[in-house]
Amino acid sequence: AQSVTQLDSHVSVSEGTPVLLRCNYSSSYSPSLFWYVQHPNKGLQLLLKYTSAATLVKGINGFEAEFKKSETSFHLTKPSAHMSDAAEYFCAANRDDKIIFGKGTRLHILP
Amino acid sequence: EAGVAQSPRYKIIEKRQSVAFWCNPISGHATLYWYQQILGQGPKLLIQFQNNGVVDDSQLPKDRFSAERLKGVDSTLKIQPAKLEDSAVYLCASSLAGQGITGELFFGEGSRLTVL
């Protein structure tokens, strides 16, 4: 069965420093993987998706993620954090034609 | 292009009362989803519609939750009677037919339910 694990519930970085949000998936096959962002009192918005094309996926707002099958990981990165990146981030995967979400990582940006 | 509309944004009720949430998906989106997001957790799929038919409702507590999508457009999610553990944000999302697993889900801003 497919599941998604986000390794950190909270991450704090200083503005201008790199961001790393970790996600591992469990599956016997390469799934479709997604990262969504949720700003306070807003709905989820798709940042990027992996669907078995290039393993390095670029998304909106300077975010990117790399699919590593050997590590069953799909970590989200950004070279330089901005205050507006403060939000909750969800990793998701398809399972039985449904999208399931991890528990989320709240990203705090320190001035 | 108008996004997914949900109402009400906030609702406070006593336990054992009933509540209904409404969702209007993006025009032309055949697939509609209701997710429950409890504080500190990721969204959990409650029910998925394809047009006006149910694709999956395996995680919907059917003794108290019901949902319908008449005419394959708007949808209503009802809880009756509500329990304390139903306090959550109820998210509606839509997608183009067949895009759910590899495409993008478009989410509304959610309806926050507090059960006292």
Instruction: Assign residue B86 the CATH number of its domain.
Output: 2.60.40.10
B106 forms bridges with which residues in the sheet? B94
Asked if residue B37 lies in contact with residue B44, where contact means CB atoms within 8 angstroms, the answer is yes
Residue B95 lies in a domain: no
Q: How far is Cα A88 from Cα A106, in angstroms, rounded to an integer? A: 4
**pLDDT single digits (tens) A73-99:** 999 999 999 999 999 999 998 876 778
Instruction: Quote the tokens at residue A29.
Output: 């096959």
HEC string for B70-112: HHHCCEEEEECCCCHHHCEEEEEEEECCCCCCCCCCEECCCEE
B47–chain A Cβ distance below 8 A for any pair: no
Report DSSP state, residue A7.
Answer: S
Q: How far is Cα A9 from Cα A22, in angstroms, rounded to an integer? A: 10
Instruction: Give chain B's residues under pLDDT 50.
Output: none
Asked if residue B45 lies in contact with residue B55, where contact means CB atoms within 8 angstroms, the answer is no
Size of interface A-B (CB pairs under 8 A): 59
> Coil, strand or helix: which one is A61?
helix
Q: Note down the domain range covering B12.
A: 5-90+100-115
Using a CB-CB cut-off of 8 Å, the residues of chain A touching B48 are 98
For B48, which of A9, A94, A98 is closest by C-beta distance? A98
**In this predicted structure, what is the pLDDT of residue A31?**
76
Chain A residue with Cα closest to B48: A98
Chain A residue with Cα closest to B41: A103
State the Cα torsion A87-A44-A94-B1 to the nearest 10°. -140
Using a CB-CB cut-off of 8 Å, the residues of chain A touching B43 are 44, 90, 101
Domains of chain A are 1-8+15-55+63-89 (2.60.40.10)
Find which of B6, B95, B101, B111 to mutate to test the A interface (most A CBs within 10 Å of its CB).
B101
User: Residue A42: enclosing H or E segment and its boundaries?
Assistant: none
Residue A1 has pLDDT above 90, yes or no: no
B93–chain A Cβ distance below 8 A for any pair: yes
Number of domains in chain B: 1
Mean pLDDT of chain A: 90
